[in-house]
Amino acid sequence: MPVVKSMSRAVTKLLQSSGCGCRISVVPIRCLGISPRQVASDASFHSVSFSESDHPRVLITGGLGQLGVGLAKLLRKRFGKNNVILSDIRKPADNVFYSGPFIYSDILDYKNLREIVVNNRITWLFHYSALLSAVGEANVPLARAVNITGLHNVLDIAAEHNLRLFVPSTIGAFGPTSPRDPTPDLCIQRPRTIYGVSKVHAELMGEYYHYRYGLDFRCLRYPGIISADSQPGGGTTDYAVQIFHDAIKTGKFQCNLKPDTRLPMMYIDDCLKATLEVMEAPAEALSMRTYNISAMSFTPEELAQEVQKHVPELQVTYSVDAVRQAIADSWPMNFDDSNARKDWGWKHDYDLPELVTTMFSFLGSDSRIAQAN
C-alpha cells in the first residue's frame, strides 16, 4: 500500500505540472463500453440550438492552459459571464478566479464530470484537457489515460446529455507520410507521437459518435499558436514565441530549428475566433466534423527578418535540436483550409506583419524597439 500511495503522489505531481486538467486516482480507471451510457438506441436527439435557449451554457475542461482562459473571456463577452464555466484541477490565479465561474473538474472522474454537466445545465463543452507531446512521450501510459480514457468520458457524457462538443486537434495529428505542402483535410495521417495518435483517435471517435449516436461533434486542427500571454514551453513551434522575448530582453536569439523549416502558424485571437465561429455555424453548413484552419506559414528566417524590422540589431543564430527538427519535418508546411473557408466562412485577420507588430505591442517596448520606430 505505501508503494501505491507513493506512485499516486508522483503521478499527481506530474499531472499538475503539465497543466493537463485532470488527475489520476489510486482507484483503477473504469473501462467504458463502446456505446455511451443511457443513450437511446434510435439516437433521435440533437444539441440545444439558439432557437431553444437564449445562450448556451458552456463548460471548458483543462481551462488553465494556453487557450482556455482566453476562450472563456471571449465566450463571456458573447454569452454572459455566468454562462461560461472554466474548470481545471489546478488552482487558478486570482485574476482568473474572480473573472467568472471556476470549478474543479477531473475528466478521469466520470461521476464528477457528469454531475457538473447536470447541475449546471451545460449545453456546450470545450474539451481542452490533454497531456501534450513532450510530457506524453515521457509517460505514454499516463498520456493514454488522460488523452484517450478522458476523451471517452467526455464523449459519453456529451452524447448522453445532448451537448455540442468541441475537441481541438493539431498539426501533430499528421506524420511523415502525410502530404505536407499543402496538407488537405482528408489524407494519410500516421503520426509518431502518442499525442498525435490520441488526436487522430479523437477525430475518428468524434466522427463515429456523430454518425452512430447523433452527437454534435466539432473539431479544428490548430496550427502552431502564438500568444503573448503564455511563456514558451519548449515545444517544436515555441521558437516563434521565444524570439519576441529574447529580442526584447537580450537582443540575441538562438533558434533550435533550421532557418528554412516552414510550419503553419496562427495568432491566438484568430484561433479563438475560429473556434467560436465553427461552434456557432449551423449544423447543415458543416460538410465534415474536423477541419484544418490556417492563417500564415513561415520559416524561422522569415520571422526573424520581420522581427528585425522592429529590432534591427537582433542577432539570430541556429543550433538545431535533432528531436524537434525531426518532428517539424514530419508536420505540414502549409494547411489547406479551403473547406473551412467555404463551409462556414473562415477568414483570418493576422498575417506575419500584423502578428509581429501585435506581439511587440503586448510584450511592451524597450529602448531598442522605441529607437527602431
How far, rounded to the nearest angstrom, does the alpha carbon of residue 313 sit from its chain's CA centroid?
A: 34
- Residues labelled catalytic: 195
Distance between CA atoms of residues 371 and 373, nearest Å: 5
**Residue pair 214/256 in contact by the 8 Å Cβ criterion:** no
Q: What are phi and psi of 97, to 5 degrees?
A: -60, -40
Largest CA distance in the chain: 68
Q: What are phi and psi of 35, to 5 degrees?
A: -95, 150
| Cα distances (angstroms) measured from residue 321 to each of 43, 176, 232, 246, 258 | 49, 18, 16, 18, 9
- Give the cell for residue 20: 493537463
Query: What is the crossing angle of helices 150-160 and 110-119, to 10°?
Result: 30
- Give the cell for residue 292: 484544418
**Residue pair 291/340 in contact by the 8 Å Cβ criterion:** yes
Distance between CA atoms of residues 250 and 154, nearest Å: 44
1 CB-near residues (< 8 Å, 6+ apart): none
Distance between CA atoms of residues 244 and 364, nearest Å: 10
Burial 89-120, CB ≥16 within 10 A → b, else e: bbebeeebeebbbbeebbbbbbeebbebbeee
